[in-house]
Amino acid sequence: MGFLNNFKQPLIIAEISGNHGGSFDKAKALVLQSAEAGADYVKLQTYKPETITVQAEDSRFKIKSGLWEGYRLHQLYAKAMTPWEWHRPLLEYAKEVGIALFSSPFDESAVKFLEKEIDPPLYKVASFELNHFPMLKEIGSTGKPVIASRGVSSDDEISKAIDCLYSSGCPEITLLHCVSEYPAKQEEFFLSEMPGIKEKFQTRFGLSDHSQGHLVAVTATALGASVIEKHITLDREEESIDGGFSMLPHEFAEMVDAVKSTSKILGCEGKSKEISKESAFFKRSILVSESIREGDLLSPKNIRIARPGDGLCPSYWDQVLGKSVRRNLCVGHPLSLDDINTLS
């Protein structure tokens, strides 16, 4: 029996992300409001700025459009992160108010931390992290179910990620249809393609929804989604980093009621949008993390799998380690095959 067979209706996840605004009391309030709104799970995000990007002054690291325009990557993630010391207290509080809690890790250290600190029942892989193969291997090795957003990933990348997770020990994968825009427009979803995920990738399917309102979530439920994920916030003030595409508690409760009603009516328990450069910006790639001189060998000490996504695909990681470089490379440089002496 799969994990999701325990749920007669779509599993509903309330995503807190950085909407706590750096306040532990707000984070607790969001856990409580998620429970009272009827969510099955409340979800955190587990990362540090240095586990997502490198601190560089290059203009490539500055967000040029959208909700977070003007932020540098390191600056944004420093503001939005959930302090790691909050995880266990939030887990204990979630137990008190009757809601399960888990998280999205953003690198291998986060997976190891979560296993030790909160022992989550499952993991979520964010859409921009689906090509972070070392992290996927670490997640798979836990033997726990995985929910993954396909967002900006190509079919080939999704297949590689699924193979990586299964071969590492993951027992069950659910792929979430996702438009990685913030907020996402309803006309960009192409939800008619969502049921095709099951046949194409042999997984369950669901929805990670960054649109405003709950129409998209209800439509996804009607199409057979087994998971609905939506952001929740206490307010839409400036300190609510994802407030522009998050639901207030009463709105979230209305969505839960609508999803459950749709599911009862049903008697139930493709990606058409071209990936924009702005969205692909948040994918992982291999970047230089320490200055490298011509002839030096590549190692985890001087290269990283980090954002932005304009460097070499992380699937080359094992191939490039130990290879020498043809030229001097500065911190933040997007590694390319042209930088490396012949790969064997």
Per-residue pLDDT of 210-252, as tens digits, reads: 887 898 899 999 999 999 999 999 987 656 676 677 899 999 9
Which pLDDT score is estimated for 179? 75
CATH topology of domain 3-266: TIM Barrel (3.20.20)
Which pLDDT score is estimated for 172? 96
- The domain spans of the chain are 3-266, 284-344
Spatial separation of the C-alpha atoms in residues 78 and 38, rounded to whole Å: 30
Bridge partners of 329, per DSSP, are: 292
284-344: CATH number: 3.90.1210.10
Which pLDDT score is estimated for 271? 41
Minimal CA–CA distance to 123: which of 309, 200, 106?
106
Q: How big is the chain, counted in residues?
A: 344
C-alpha 68: how far from its chain's center?
A: 17
Which pLDDT score is estimated for 149? 92
Q: Provide the pLDDT confidence category of residue 273 given band limits of 50, 70 and 90.
A: low
Which pLDDT score is estimated for 2? 67
Q: What percent of the chain has pLDDT over 90?
A: 68
Spatial separation of the C-alpha atoms in residues 174 and 322, rounded to whole Å: 36
Please indicate, yes or no, whether the overall pTM of this predicted structure exceeds 0.85: no
